[in-house]
Amino acid sequence: MTVFAQDWTTPFGLPPFDQIRDEDFGPAFDSALAEARANIAAIADSAEPPTFANVIEALELAEGALDRVAGVFYNLSGADSNDAREALMRDLAPKMSAFSSEVSNNKALFAKIEALWQQRETLGLSDEQLRVLTLYRQMFVRSGALLEGAEAERLTAVKSRLAVLGTQFSQNLLADERAWSMPLAESDLEGLPDFVVASARAAGEERGAGGPVVTLNRSLIVPFLQFSPRRSLRQRAYEAWVARGANGDAHDNRAIAAEILALRHERAQLLGYPSFADYKLEPEMAKTPAAVRDLLMRVWTPARAKAEADGGVLEAMLHADGITGPLEPWDWRYYSEKRRRAEHDLDEAALKPYLSLDAMLAAQFDCANRLFGLEFREIDGPFYHPDVRGWEVTRGGSHIAVFLGDYFARGSKRSGAWCSAMRSQRKLGGDVRPIVVNVCNFAKGDPALLSYDDARTLFHEFGHALHQMLSDVTYGFISGTSVARDFVELPSQLYEHWLEVPAVLEQHARHWQTREAMPADLLRRLLAAGTYDQGFATVEFVASALVDLEFHQGTPPADPMQKQAEILEALGMPRAIRMRHATPHFAHVFSGDGYSSGYYSYMWSEVMDADAFAAFEEAGDPFDPATSARLEKFILSAGGSRDAEQLYLQFRGRMPGVEALLRGRGLLDAA
């Protein structure tokens, strides 16, 4: 009997991480899949007339054991992978896809769902139950429940192959990130701030390199590109960073990306859609590829103009240093940082001592307390890695959630930052409270000092966590972040705004040694520079989003790299800026279907988050109780219980225009 088959007597029902062994997962998945299959067969084969309770509610609980083991395994696979877990990931990908296809292809089961759907007006369902029934039917139809014979079999094969390819893409990317490092001699450290030197030494120690190194972790390589005066080293590091997944070896992702795009197109056509973008966007707020392109192009034009103007200034600085030729991508961050220091008198090295991880954690918790009355008490593990910290979340003395934070980069963790739930909130079958995990890749230090962008990432992921923790629905199917993809980033991006509230930084941005508050002048300059270099940031994002959209419209490209180049050329991409995520390492799009045709969603949500924070500003208080109560009621606690546009209209009374986004990015004058 594995630990997953036992009752967990741990505090809050946390997984007993100190008892879980890698060899437990395989048998646990086999047992859980068998149990889920039996439960679903019992629902489908029952002679009882279908009811909401014996079909939909039964389905909600049918995969409880599977949810339990998967909630632990997939979190560990992303945040603390090893050879055994990666091997099991490869083994599980087709198995889990096959199980999903079995369920969606179960004709008897779908017949019961369809019968309920046809009778929905006479069943006496609550609004939430009707929404759940609607989404279940939609999920089955979009998964191929209406297909028969060869078409159904082919769709199953396509989905299985896509699952395998997505896993392979992720593991190739992780392998490239693990494998590369650039040793630094002591002389190469000249000109680097102390925090970059400390991070490079810590990375070298973690890798057993015998000295400082630069790795492909964003929290190390970006500051190196910002501060290193050695152009040849910047070039070498930058080219390795953008070459992830495209090194012509066993971990090359280019052919995988091409196959994924072809299979997605085939999947969409089997389901009756002209393209994968049409299929994917149908249930989202945007609805159509044309609506997405319209938004992105309305932002692209002013952003490109701003970036081109900024690039001219930076190129002049390059030439003033005696370097001939054009500004290159490995030059932009270096000269932009010099320009920021000159124009805003803002030096990141002087800023970071006031942005320790502990200080910013206190800030994010304090804001959650002032907005929603949440309290955070740190708890002891054991957790799944020594770096992980945990907190019990309460309100008015009642348990709300467990929150885990895993903040430091390491070789076993995939790059980026994300929020996930080991256990999601629901009321069906008992009051189940969530276990929510934030994962980041900050450079480890003693103490860990964050850049302002790092602090923004911390707040962003905690916004997702609040969406999970404050969820208050009956059915797990619509819990927390189970919302439209272009709505899911609203809570996370909205929460970033509280980092910009002067009173928050005045209270929490304190020097890690002296405990003195950030000087008022430094705080003023930090906030004044809030839109600095937004031409660059917006161009690199929108370029990625447009490439993603174009990839999934029309005939899939035989050579995605050639297609990527054609798209960027047509856009007039500035030569000194690259896509934020080039195709071979575009994990958002190719590691799974989550953000495929959906990378735009960050910007779609940003249109709303700028307008949503304006509601607090209009109330005259960033912690206005009435506005925060509406935010919780209509956005954070509602999950997917209503249509996303309806939820936003209930919160704000209207839908916003793109002007709020342009204003927030300092691009309105360039529009």
Per-residue pLDDT of 484-523, as tens digits, reads 999 999 999 999 999 999 999 999 999 999 999 999 999 9
Phi, psi angles (nearest 5°) of residue 321: -85, 5
pLDDT at 544 over 90: yes
Quick check: bond before 447 cis, omega within 30? yes
| Per-residue pLDDT, 349 | 85
Based on the residue annotation, tell me whether 461 is a catalytic residue of this protein.
yes
Considering the candidates 60, 266, 284, 461, report the single residue annotated as catalytic. Answer: 461
Q: Evaluate whether 254-344+534-589 and 353-528+602-658 have a shared fold.
A: yes
- pLDDT of 415 > 90? The answer is no
Average pLDDT of every residue of the chain: 96
Q: Read off the pLDDT band of 530 (50, 70, 90).
A: confident
The structure tokens 């139809």 sit at 141
Is pLDDT of 670 > 80? no
Q: For the residues 621-625, what does the mean pLDDT come to?
A: 98
pLDDT tens digits, residue range 365-404? 999 999 999 999 999 989 999 999 999 999 999 999 999 9
The arithmetic mean of pLDDT across residues 545-557, rounded, is 96
pLDDT digits (tens, 9 = 90+) for 202-261: 999 999 999 999 999 998 999 999 999 999 999 999 999 999 999 999 999 999 999 999
User: What number does CATH give the domain 353-528+602-658?
Assistant: 1.10.1370.40
Helix (H, G, I), strand (E, B) or coil at 435: strand
- Look at residue 23 in the predicted model and tell me its pLDDT: 96
Q: For position 668, what pLDDT does the model report? A: 82
Q: Is the pLDDT of residue 33 over 80?
A: yes
Structure tokens at 329: 């991508």
What mean pLDDT do residues 42-47 have? 98
What average pLDDT does this structure show over 595-602? 96
Of the listed ranges 9-13, 90-94, 413-417, 423-427, the least confidently predicted one is: 413-417
**Interval 130-154: pLDDT, tens:** 999 999 999 999 999 999 999 999 9
Report the distance separating Cα 601 and Cα 464, nearest Å: 14
Q: CA–CA separation, 603 vs 296, rounded Å? A: 8
In angstroms, rounded to a whole number, what is the distance separating the alpha carbons of residues 442 and 415? 10
Q: Tokens 């000087």: give the residue.
A: 519
d(CA 188, CA 228): 8
> What are the residue boundaries of the structural domains of the chain, listed by start?
3-146, 180-231, 254-344+534-589, 353-528+602-658
Structure confidence at residue 354 (pLDDT): 97
Average the pLDDT over each of 316-320, 548-552, 592-596 and give the range with the smallest value. 592-596
Task: Check whether 49 has a pLDDT greater than 80.
Answer: yes
Tens of pLDDT, residue by residue over 443-483, are 988 899 999 999 999 999 999 999 999 999 999 999 999 99
214 half-sphere exposure, CB direction, 13 A CA radius: 27
At a CB cut-off of 8 Å and minimum separation 6, what does 435 contact? 12, 13, 14, 71, 401, 402, 404, 421, 422, 423
Using CA atoms, how far apart are residues 173 and 402, in angstroms rounded to an integer?
Answer: 31
Structure tokens at 297: 């192009």
- Average of per-residue pLDDT across 272-292: 97
Question: What is the mean predicted confidence (pLDDT) over 107-117?
Answer: 98
Looking at residue 671, what is its pLDDT?
Answer: 58
Among the listed residues 229, 112, 263, 361, the one whose alpha carbon sits nearest the alpha carbon of residue 592: 263
Token pair 């149908």: residue: 282
Return the pLDDT at 208.
93
Which listed CATH number (2.30.30, 1.20.1050, 3.40.190, 1.10.760) goes with 3-146? 1.20.1050
Identify which of 267, 200, 198, 304 has the alpha carbon closest to the alpha carbon of residue 546. Answer: 304
**Cis amide bond preceding 94, omega within 30:** no
The DSSP bridge partners found for residue 404 are 390, 437
Is the pLDDT confidence value at 643 over 80?
yes
Q: What is the pLDDT of residues 16-29, one digit of tens each?
A: 999 999 999 999 99
pLDDT of residue 347: 85
Bridge partners (DSSP) of residue 405 are: 389, 438
Q: Check: CB of residue 145 under 8 Å from CB of residue 104.
A: yes
Task: Please tell me the distance from the alpha carbon of residue 230 to that of residue 191, in angstroms, as a whole number.
Answer: 9
- Could you tell me which of 425, 283, 440, 263 has the C-alpha nearest to residue 361? 440
What does the pLDDT average to over 536-544? 97
Q: Which CATH number fits domain 254-344+534-589: 3.40.630.30, 1.10.1370.10, 2.60.40.10, 3.30.565.10?
A: 1.10.1370.10
